[in-house]
Amino acid sequence: MENIDWKCLPFGYLKTDFNIRCVYKNGKWGKMEVSTSEYIDIHIAATGLHYGQEAFEGLKAYMGKDGKIRLFRWEENAKRMISSAFGIMMAPVPSEMFKEALLKVIELNRKYVPPYGSGATLYIRPVLYGSGAEVGVKPASEYTFIVFVTPVGPYFKGGIKPVNMMICRDYDRAAPMGTGIYKVGGNYAASLRAIESGHHGGYANIIFLDSRERKYIDECGPANFFGIKNNTYITPKSESILNSITNMSLLDIARNMGMKTERRQVPIEELSSFIEAGACGTAAVISPIAKIFDPENSKVYEYCKNGEPGADTLKLYNKLVSIQNGDEPDPFGWVTIVD
């Protein structure tokens, strides 16, 4: 694409040429269709609009040095979307159909896959919502599945940069035994005020605590948390956080690099014992945490005193990004070449 400045792309929406759509009606999925429109026609009583029957996914395609496009762990996104559909009683999208839609939308928008070395990637957004009309609170009988793509710039322009975070004491993102483990829109609506209050205070993001006792770390906005000490990668186990595919991958890479790993409750006080800490997710891969501020007691937990990410964080980041880009072999079988 001659008129896209790949190096200056923001992490935002840019129109591409095609998207994929499919409708579930009368108990079965219909034919997959290609659309050139950025808009949808939606019934005024669709459950996706009124009762939050909506789930989405986010994954990326990477252009390699070899000119091949790589998709990272799409099977996990497919599984998670099935789990989200189960959580809010929507028709699930079968994995094979999910894969077919991804491959088709990438192929059709091939010219929007950013070149190798630009730092940009093709972000893929599958979305599923109740499109059938209901007025009573019940699941719809019709669902729409859409996949669109948009090229996005790197989350951090100047490379991996430590950020400051604030513990959120005023809002919960999800209730215990609620929908926090699903990637449904309602969780994100519930997090907006909290994230905005963090931004207002000058923080890159906020850290949610467990909403039952407010004693343990849950998540960092739309990313999972990890801390590192004693050659151990530690990440919260909670009944209300999204199971991050980036985090799952970092756990495997950490073990592979000879680190120990723990997935367990992480009490707030433990923040003072970590040597490194970070947030992880598809968008930024890893956001190293420089400082965490706790407004309850004005305590500050500091990690990157020299303004640079810690050594283990950097090793984990480099390894994962190299596998995603195809710069290093993929011993885990995570990458699918799009052809």
Ligand X SMILES: Cc1ncc(COP(=O)(O)O)c(C=O)c1O
C-alpha span between 201 and 223 (Å, rounded): 19
> Which of 119, 222, 236, 288 contacts ligand X by CB under 6 A?
222
The pair phi, psi for residue 319, each rounded to 5°, is: -65, -50
Contact assessment for residue 62 and residue 72, using Cβ atoms and an 8 Å cutoff: yes
> Which of 142, 210, 219, 312 contacts ligand X by CB under 6 A?
219
Q: What part of residues 150-209 is at the interface with ligand X (CB under 6 A)?
A: none
Q: Is 183 a catalytic residue?
A: yes
**Interacting span for ligand X (CB under 6 A) from 85-93, 241-249, 308-316, 326-334:** 241-249
**Interacting span for ligand X (CB under 6 A) from 36-44, 113-121, 163-171, 242-250:** 242-250
Active-site residue, from 7, 31, 183, 319:
183
Instruction: Please tell me the count of residues contacting ligand X according to CB under 6 A.
Output: 12
Cβ within 8 Å of residue 27, ≥6 positions away: none
C-alpha span between 299 and 205 (Å, rounded): 17
C-alpha span between 81 and 101 (Å, rounded): 14
Structure tokens at 5: 């400045």
The residue type of 8 is C
Q: Applying CB under 6 A, does 242 fall inside the site for ligand X?
A: yes
C-alpha span between 100 and 90 (Å, rounded): 20
Contact assessment for residue 75 and residue 54, using Cβ atoms and an 8 Å cutoff: no
**Interacting span for ligand X (CB under 6 A) from 23-31, 110-118, 195-203, 243-251:** 243-251
C-beta of 19 vs 324, nearer to ligand X: 324
C-alpha span between 73 and 232 (Å, rounded): 24
Q: Least distance in Å: CB of 297 to ligand X?
A: 26
Q: What part of residues 33-72 is at the interface with ligand X (CB under 6 A)?
A: 58
Q: What part of residues 276-315 is at the interface with ligand X (CB under 6 A)?
A: 281-282
Q: Applying CB under 6 A, does 126 fall inside the site for ligand X?
A: no
Catalytic residues: 183
User: Interface with ligand X by CB under 6 A: which residues?
Assistant: 58, 219, 222-224, 242, 244-247, 281-282
